[in-house]
């Protein structure tokens, strides 16, 4: 996609000139805080929203001119649950297969093997209403794969999952990438998820890509170690004057430094800073990358209208 912009009728600019390209077999991650424009970007690529300007195409098909061809080539797992909870898991999958024109024999085979994969085979004939949030998530993951898409969109695939289920979902995704020629666009605000699954990451904030690269490149790009000091009133000027100190970030009661070769300079840093209550030093993670480029911590809370919340306040319908 090139220079995609989306301005909602409400006047909100959700996506402000995002461009990227995903190669075949690649896992590309969009990483950003709530409201960054991740879901909006996916919706444009999935032809659910029309962009205000710019050009978007999937597998060579233009999202505006040939939406039907685009839809034939994509699978999507939405951020919010979107299965019919009056139907059973198997019925949901079967319905999906019908909508994609898959023959009866193929549906049967595909559904059986996917249910096995997401470990729902023994619960497949229960209504989705009685599934837990994680089970429903896994069902929708299976659904997104049933028609063998070329490009898979995963909008926060592990939102609201317990660590165990999350680990399992990660394993599925890794497995999927290994044995299928499929590209994945994944959004997340879990750093470890991005670090583990993605070949390439774009950090987005307020509808813009701030930096893009492989997780390793991005971490290396910081060029130093992280030092976190608990300190009342640090001597900012003294610290900033040193050229091996790359950045100084102050939060409420902490001071976060990025320092070149901090291991050998630690003594000096402590002396410069003043009275330090505690100190923590580590190699940088993607979280630090995010902090470094945006000056903000990525929130680790559930996303707006997230899966967990939705499961609890699920609309009782009809």
Ligand X SMILES: Nc1ncnc2c1ncn2[C@@H]1O[C@H](COP(=O)(O)OP(=O)(O)OP(=O)(O)O)[C@@H](O)[C@H]1O
Residues of this chain that bind ligand X (CB under 6 A): 8, 10, 12, 14, 32, 34-40, 79, 189, 303-304
How many residues bind to Mg ion according to rule CB under 5 A? 3
Least distance from C-beta 32 to ligand X, angstroms? 6
Least distance from C-beta 304 to ligand X, angstroms? 4
Please give the Cα distance from 35 to 52 (Å, whole number).
18
Least distance from C-beta 35 to Mg ion, angstroms? 8
Q: Which does 14 bind (CB under 5 to 8 A by kind): Mg ion, another protein, ligand X, none?
A: ligand X
Q: Which does 85 bind (CB under 5 to 8 A by kind): ligand X, Mg ion, another protein, none?
A: another protein
Candidates 41, 43, 51, 79; binder of Mg ion (CB under 5 A) is: 79
Q: Which residue has the tokens 């497949």?
A: 124
Question: What DSSP assignment string belongs to the chain?
Answer: -EEEEEE-TTS-EEEEEE-----TT-EEEEE--TTSSHHHHHHHHTTSS--SEEE-EETTEETTT-HHHHHHHEEEE-SS--S-TTSBHHHHHHHHHHHTT--HHHHHHHHHHHHHHTT-GGGTTSBGGGS-HHHHHHHHHHHHHHT--SEEEEESTTTT--HHHHHHHHHHHHHHHHHS--EEEEEES-HHHHHHH-SEEEEEETTEEEEEE-HHHHHHHH-SEEEEEEESS--HHHHHH-TTEEEEEE-SSEEEEEETTHHHHHHHHHHHH-SEEEEEEE---HHHHHHHHHSSPPP-SPPTT-HHHHHHTPPP--
Closer CB to Mg ion, residue 204 or residue 245? 204
Closer CB to ligand X, residue 35 or residue 213? 35
Least distance from C-beta 155 to Mg ion, angstroms? 6
Closer CB to ligand X, residue 12 or residue 241? 12
Candidates 39, 83, 88, 92; binder of Mg ion (CB under 5 A) is: 39
Closer CB to ligand X, residue 227 or residue 286? 286
Least distance from C-beta 206 to ligand X, angstroms? 9
Q: Which does 263 bind (CB under 5 to 8 A by kind): another protein, ligand X, Mg ion, none?
A: none
Closer CB to another protein, residue 81 or residue 89? 81
Closer CB to Mg ion, residue 261 or residue 304? 304
Please give the Cα distance from 74 to 299 (Å, whole number).
29
Rule CB under 8 A: which residues touch another protein? 43, 46-49, 68, 71-72, 74, 76, 78, 80-87, 91, 95-96, 98-101, 127, 143, 314-315, 317-318
Binding residues for Mg ion, rule: CB under 5 A, are 38-39, 79
């Amino acid at each position: 996609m090139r220079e995609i912009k989306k301005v909602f009728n409400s006047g909100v600019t959700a996506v402000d000139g995002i461009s990227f390209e995903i190669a075949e077999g690649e896992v590309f991650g969009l990483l950003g805080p709530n409201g960054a424009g991740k879901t909006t970007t996916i919706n444009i690529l999935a032809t659910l929203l029309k962009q205000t300007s710019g050009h978007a195409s999937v597998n060579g098909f233009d999202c505006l001119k040939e939406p039907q061809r685009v839809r034939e080539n994509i699978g999507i797992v939405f951020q919010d649950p979107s299965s019919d909870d009056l139907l059973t898991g198997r019925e949901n999958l079967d319905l999906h297969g019908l909508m994609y024109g898959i023959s009866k024999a193929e549906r049967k085979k595909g559904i059986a093997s996917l249910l096995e994969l997401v470990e729902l085979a023994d619960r497949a004939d229960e209504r989705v209403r009685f599934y837990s949030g994680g089970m429903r998530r896994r069902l929708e993951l299976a659904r997104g794969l049933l028609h063998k898409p070329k490009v898979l969109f995963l909008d926060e695939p592990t939102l609201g999952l317990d660590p165990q289920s999350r680990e399992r979902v990660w394993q599925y995704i890794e497995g999927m990438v290994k044995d299928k020629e499929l590209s994945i666009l994944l959004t997340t605000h879990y750093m470890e998820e991005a670090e583990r699954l993605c070949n390439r990451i774009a950090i987005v904030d307020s509808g813009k890509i701030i930096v893009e690269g492989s997780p390793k490149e991005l971490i290396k790009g910081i060029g130093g170690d992280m030092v976190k000091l608990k300190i009342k009133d640090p001597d900012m000027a003294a610290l900033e004057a040193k050229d091996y100190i790359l950045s100084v970030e102050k939060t409420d009661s902490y001071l976060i430094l990025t320092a070149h070769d901090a291991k050998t300079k630690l003594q000096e840093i402590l002396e410069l800073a003043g009275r330090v209550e505690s100190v923590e030093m580590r190699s940088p993670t993607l979280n630090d990358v995010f902090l470094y480029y945006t000056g903000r911590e990525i929130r680790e809370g559930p996303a707006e209208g997230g899966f967990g919340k939705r499961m609890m306040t699920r609309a009782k319908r009809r």
